[in-house]
Amino acid sequence: MTLGDAGSGRNGARHDGVREGEVPGGDAQQRARKELGAFLRGKRTAADRAEYGLPPVGRGKTTGMRREEIAFLSGVSVTWYTWLEQGRDIHPSRQVVDAVAVNLRLNQAEHDYVLGLSGFTPSPRPVPLAPGPVPAHVQQLLDTLDPAPAFAVSPHWDIAAWNQSYEGLFPGIATAPPEERNLLALVFTDEYVRAMLPEWELTSRQFLGEYRSEAGARMGGPAHVRLVAHLRHASPDFAAAWDEHAVLRFESRQRRFIHPVAGELLFDQLKLVPQDAPELHVVAYLPDADSGTAGRLPLLLPGSPTS
């Protein structure tokens, strides 16, 4: 018998009664961690690289994601993700488990399975692909506020409705696919929007702190995880700011824009929550009384001499 055979009997059985691959004295949590690691590893190695927009590796291999690739998409370190696949005694948060599940593109049943293995109770998680239609009276409120720009956002800051002045301020909002009309995405990835914000560094971080404060318990949901994963990949500025973990409560404040047609615009930003549609927040930009902004607002509307 060689040293490599020590302790093993026929058919892989050990003399201490534990089979090869089992953890001696292992409890249910250990077995769950091992199963979780094996399951994630299997899904990662079977992933289609083309679906992630990634080139083949090695000798033209088109399947299999690297650990560092999934770790990057999920916002965790490679070492930590490696430990997760190895079944180490670590305790991932639900947010992390959801992030890994979403970035491995697990289906609903698989997602619930890894939540269960991680000690979390799966819960219904409806994920609309785009904001649904807003109630007619909310749209009427937005239209009534013209020529002051105004818009309505969903809990994940998807822009669900707006008035003509807001479209004049941000023309891309009307042409963007509905699933891409997100306020954070506009601020961090749209160069037109960035150019209009002279205090972009301050404004973008204020928005992010307010979003984080409002997200609260929704941070474990797939809609939030997808948004953060997408913006981490699309914007290094977002990734750096998100990792600062700033949390800010919304407060009315002045907003300043440099519009290519209307010039400098100074607004007081206000937020309203309709009592009969509390999932929507209406944000209005009211012209500052002493800035001359009110006289330039008609330039944002269709049919103006320079629009």
pLDDT at position 305:
57
Q: At what angle do helices 108-117 and 94-103 cross, to 10 degrees?
A: 150
Cβ neighbours of 289 (radius 10 Å): 10
**Residues 47, 184: one domain?**
no
Q: Do residues 96 and 145 both lie within one domain?
A: no
Domain that holds residue 230: 136-300
What does pTM read for this prediction?
Answer: 0.61
- Return per-residue pLDDT of the chain as tens, 307 residues: 333 333 333 343 333 333 434 444 457 788 889 999 999 999 999 998 888 888 888 777 888 999 999 999 898 999 999 999 999 998 889 889 989 988 898 877 788 889 888 988 876 544 444 566 889 999 999 999 999 999 999 988 999 999 999 999 999 999 988 878 999 999 999 999 999 999 999 999 999 999 988 876 666 677 787 888 889 888 999 988 988 878 888 888 999 999 999 999 999 999 999 988 888 999 999 999 999 999 999 999 876 655 4
Residue 279 forms part of a structural domain? yes
Judgement on whether residues 13 and 41 belong to the same structural domain of the protein: yes
**Among 288, 283, 291, 275, residue whose Cα is nearest residue 137:** 275
Q: In this predicted structure, what is the pLDDT of residue 57?
A: 84
- Where residue 278 sits, what CATH number does that domain have? 3.30.450.180
User: What was the pLDDT predicted at 109?
Assistant: 76
Q: Is residue 25 part of a domain?
A: yes
pLDDT, position 247:
82
Helices (H), 24-120: 28-46, 67-74, 78-86, 94-103, 108-117
